[in-house]
Structure 1
Amino acid sequence: MPHSVQELLARRVPGYSLEQPFYTDQSIFELDLENIHYKEWLFAIPACEIAKAGDYVIYEVGAYSVVIVRGNDQVVRAFHNSCRHRGSVLCKTKKGRNPRLVCPYHQWTYDLDGKLLWARDMGPDFDNSKFGLSPVHCRVIHGLVYICLAENAPDIEPFAKAAERYLAPHDLENSKVAFESTIIEKANWKLVWENNRECYHCGGNHPSLCRTFPEDARAIGSTSDGVVASVLDDHVARCEAVGAPSAYQMADSGEWRLVRVPLLGEAESYTLDTKAAVSLPNSNIPFKNAGSLLKFHYPSTWNHFLSDHALVFRVTPISPMETEVVTKWLVHKDAVEGRDYDLKRLTEVWLATNAEDKEVVENNQRGIATPAYKVGPYSEIHEAGVAQFGNWYAKTLLDRLTQTRLIAAE
């Protein structure tokens, strides 16, 4: 790479796409991991996925493997998936349920709160209390589990406070995963995010989604001038009148945003017939056409919370040109497939949308990887969200690199 990352960031033109190395270079990918994904709070799973004591899920991020487990005290905790004896992986399967966490190598046995319970033949002076599992910062925010791999986690309280308030009408703790989809997009994680942050491409690529989701950036508050459509103002007022927080709110840093937006016309959910997909809803909003609460939190998640069900997405970088996208459909825990919802009807719109996004993002990656690629301008009308993501990314990476350099110079 002929220029340093700092030089590339310094000459970046706001409102334009990033230069090629940000989407293709291995060293920048590693800097992204070290300075963003290993430092920020990451959405991991919905807490309802580990509903009972001993339920666990493994989340892998770059070089890290994290086990997220519900304890006998019902507290959700996270630990590095590595035995404190000689480092073996503790949990080999992606998810499961165990009354204890037992290392498969030498059977060191840990309680669900991470304490070492048993280690065979370690001598009379061995102190179990010194060899508990290494904890990972973990926070459950209204049924959504976030982790942070950093030694000192950034302050999540402003986001947690806002998210708890906006999510209050949605009973995520008493939900279940009705369906889960995992796809690998052969593209850089930033391209996955850039595609998500605009609907400029929707009309030409998402026929199913466009039956219900508004393409107009003004209808979802994603504008460069702050001007929004009256339909959004009216919808926010209607929802807030029944106690559902809805007004556009974004962090000063740009890392997260919350807004409840209307769907098209009288649409109730992301279905082909525009009607609710689940007859037993997991929200208490008193009308079906409450639209969708849109929530994102960089760098790992965007979400849709509707009156009848919820969709949570997780974005995890794999390599400079590979990204895992996991989608989970959450319905009320007592909803019965075949009676309260039809699985195909519930999932078909976003399964199609994900496949369509995969294609356009991979096409974008292939074009960027060619020697002919040059940075291009974003639409001020439709792509303010993409510009906002680029600004957040560039500032976050530059600040972290500068901080690291200052510490190294001390």
Structure 2
Amino acid sequence: MTEFDLLNLKYNHIEDARLDMSRILAERARQFSLPQSLYNDPFLFRIDMEEVFMKEWLFVGMACEIPSPGAYMTVDIGQNPVLVVRDRDGGIRAFHNVCRHRGSRVCTGKRGKVANLTCPYHQWTYDLKGDLIYAGTEMGEGFDKSDFGLKPAHCKTAGGFIYVCLAEHEPPEIDQYLAALEAYMEPYDMENAKVAAESTLEENANWKLVIENNRECYHCSGSHPELLRTLLEWDDTTDPRATPEFKAQYERQAAEWDREGIPHKHVEFGLRNRIVRMPLKDGTAVMTMDGKPACKKRMGRIQNPNLGSMRLLHLPNSWNHMQSDHMIVFQVQPVSAQKTLVTTKWLVHKDAVEGEDYDPAQLSYVWDQTNKQDRELAEQNQRGINSLAYQPGPYSETYEFGIINFLDWYADTVLKNLTHDRL
């Protein structure tokens, strides 16, 4: 009997899985890890994709990656290939990367630049606004090109970040967060930045385990020696573990940030989004092995090298660190119930010269090591959860409140969307 047959013994239809998902989430113990099936069952993973990743706003890339008209990037959201392109007016648009002829992907590269968007299969061609402009003469006299433009996806940008939502109708509200993001990212001038290094790790773990691991530093002292050369473990000044010495350091540095007009106060928008600037260890400027800047050119209008790390959280798929000389952005892409891609990009000023102003290996070393360590942790976590012996365990309200907040957001979001589906 195949794995698929065994799964069918549990769920005869996807609607049975939806009902079970609703029950599990409604009955879960809030301060405990999730039941096993939510971490490894393919049917429930499908519901995660349908109710979270196909309906919520997702971080997909940086505007500076597509700097001029015709520049594009592609991303897969589950089984949905998506195309993000800068049009001739300088705007950024997102489309389903699916030709309206027979469904082939229009753009097959990860990034590129084109005059128009041409499907390689039969050369149907679309302009940068998604309108079909060429389909040959073989379609007959009754064929109307205006009926066959690329299908758009919701797309918004702020502070250099690009967000896409595949919701069929009205997407969730995000404008308050985007307005704050625009203000907090203003000092960095992200239109004049570039990607200096990039990596993608395939992790054999459920996407929620990847996010859970990120949302706590309980594990840091035992797993991340490179990161802890500069990182302070607490989440912000309200962290119950924060010491008087740390709070005094924060006040000193905050006064410097205020003088330079650098935003830093904690803002949050529900449990999904938050922004906060935090000092690094006293005497260190950025997340490198020696704590010294990794790039000679600072970002945007920044003068003070001691900006600490401005942390941006966007659920369900991104966390980020903004520093004086470079920034690090993370993107999570679920692949299957027990496989996740984690892409990390290091960005610097666009005029910084590799080998002269920065060394990509030095720039990326600390988080390269941290990512590999986190992959091992997530994969070992997944292996244990797959065991017959697994049962949900308790989270520490002091050390793991970030996970509790994440799972509250996740459960509320899935239940909300499932309920809406039934209406």
For this structure pair, what is the TM-score category when the shorter chain's length is used for normalisation?
Answer: over 0.9
Secondary structure, aligned partner of 1:168: helix
Select 1:380's aligned residue among 385, 390, 397.
397
The question of 1:94 aligning with 2:110 is answered yes
In structure 2, the residue matched to 1:53 is 69
Shift of 1:97: 1.5
Partner of 1:53, secondary structure, is coil
Cα deviation, residue 222, structure 1: 4.7
Aligned residue for 1:14?
A: 30
Q: How does 1:352-391 map to 2 (within 5 A)?
A: 352-391=369-408
* 1:41 counterpart residue number: 57
Q: How far is 1:123 from its partner? A: 2.4
Give the aligned partner of residue 342 of structure 1: 359
Question: Comparing 91-100 with 255-264, which one deviates more in the overlay?
Answer: 91-100
Q: Give CA deviations for 1:190-216 in whole Å, capped at 9, x if unaligned.
A: 000000011111111000000000123
Aligned twin of 2:80? 64
2:190 to 158, 172, 192: 172
The correspondence for 2:125, drawn from 105, 109, 120, is: 109
What SS class does the counterpart of residue 132 from structure 1 fall into?
A: coil
1:245 aligns with 2:263: yes
Q: Does 1:182 align with 2:207?
A: no
CA RMSD of aligned residues (A): 1.8
Does residue 193 (structure 1) correspond to residue 193 (structure 2)? The answer is no
Matched AA of 1:53: P
Residue identity matched to 2:407: G
Residue 41 (structure 2) aligns with: 25
Matched-pair contact (CA < 8 Å) for 2:82–2:95:
yes
- 1:109 counterpart letter in structure 2: T
Greater displacement, 274-283 / 227-236: 227-236
Write out per-residue CA displacement over residues 235-281 of structure 1, whole angstroms, 9 at most, x where no aligned residue.
444423421111111112x1111000000012111111100111101
Q: Secondary structure at the match of 1:280?
A: coil
Cα pair 2:234 2:241 within 8 Å, conserved? no
Which of 277, 298, 302 is equivalent to 2:294? 277
Report what 2:98 is aligned to.
Answer: 82
Residues 20/211 of structure 1: CA separation in 2 closer, same or farther (3 Å cut): same
Q: How many angstroms apart in 2 are the aligned matches of 1:323 and 1:25?
A: 14
Distance 1:217 1:381 in 2: 11
Tell me which amino acid in the other structure corresponds to 1:392.
W
The answer to whether the 8 Å contact 1:139/1:145 transfers is yes
User: Which deviates more from structure 2 when the two are superposed, residues 305-314 or residues 7-16?
Assistant: 7-16
- Name the CA distance, whole Å, in 1 between partners of 2:27 and 2:130: 47
Superposition deviation, residue 102 in structure 1:
0.9
Match of 1:292 in 2: 309
* Shift, 1:217, TM fit: 3.9
Instruction: Specify whether residues 135 and 16 from structure 1 end up closer, same or farther in structure 2 by C-alpha distance, changes over 3 A only.
Output: same
Letter in 2 for 1:345: Q
Q: Secondary structure at the match of 2:108?
A: coil
Residue in 2 aligned with 1:73? 89
Question: % of aligned pairs identical?
Answer: 46
8 Å Cα contact 2:236-2:276 kept in structure 1:
no
Q: Give runs of aligned pairs for residues 149-160 of structure 1, distance below 5 A.
A: 149-151=166-168, 152-160=170-178
Secondary structure of 2:171's counterpart equals coil
- The code of the aligned residue for 1:108 comes to W
Query: Hey, what's the Cα distance between the residues in 2 that align with 1:183 and 1:233?
Result: 37
Q: How far is 1:328 from its partner? A: 0.4
Whichever residue aligns with residue 379 of structure 2, its letter is E
For residue 229 of structure 1, report the CA deviation from its aligned partner: 3.9
Q: In structure 1, what is the Cα distance between the partners aligned to 2:382 and 2:258?
A: 41
Cα contact 1:217–1:223 (8 A) shared by 2 = no
Aligned to 1:209: 227
Normalised by the length of structure 1, the TM-score is 0.94
Matches of 2:230 and 2:261, distance apart in 1: 24
Question: Tell me, what secondary structure is at the counterpart of 2:172?
Answer: coil
In 1, Cα distance between equivalents of 2:57 and 2:274: 14
Give yes or no for the alignment of 1:4 onto 2:26: no
Q: Which residue of 2 aligns with 1:404?
A: 421
* In 1, Cα distance between equivalents of 2:252 and 2:44: 44
Q: Distance in 2 between matches of 1:263 and 1:275?
A: 11
Give 1:55's aligned amino acid. Answer: A
Q: Would you say the 8 A contact 2:52–2:414 is kept in 1?
A: yes
Aligned counterparts of 1:11 and 1:118: Cα–Cα separation in 2 = 54
Alpha-carbon distance in structure 1 between the residues aligned to 2:420 and 2:187: 40
**Which amino acid counterpart does residue 73 of structure 2 have in structure 1?**
V
Q: CA deviation at 1:35?
A: 0.6
1:387 positional shift: 0.9
Secondary structure of 2:356's partner? Answer: coil
**148-157 or 350-359: bigger deviation:** 148-157
Unaligned stretches of 5+ in structure 1? none
CA contact (8 A) 1:222 1:384 kept: no
In structure 2, the partner of 1:332 is 349
> How many residues in Structure 1 have an aligned counterpart in Structure 2?
403
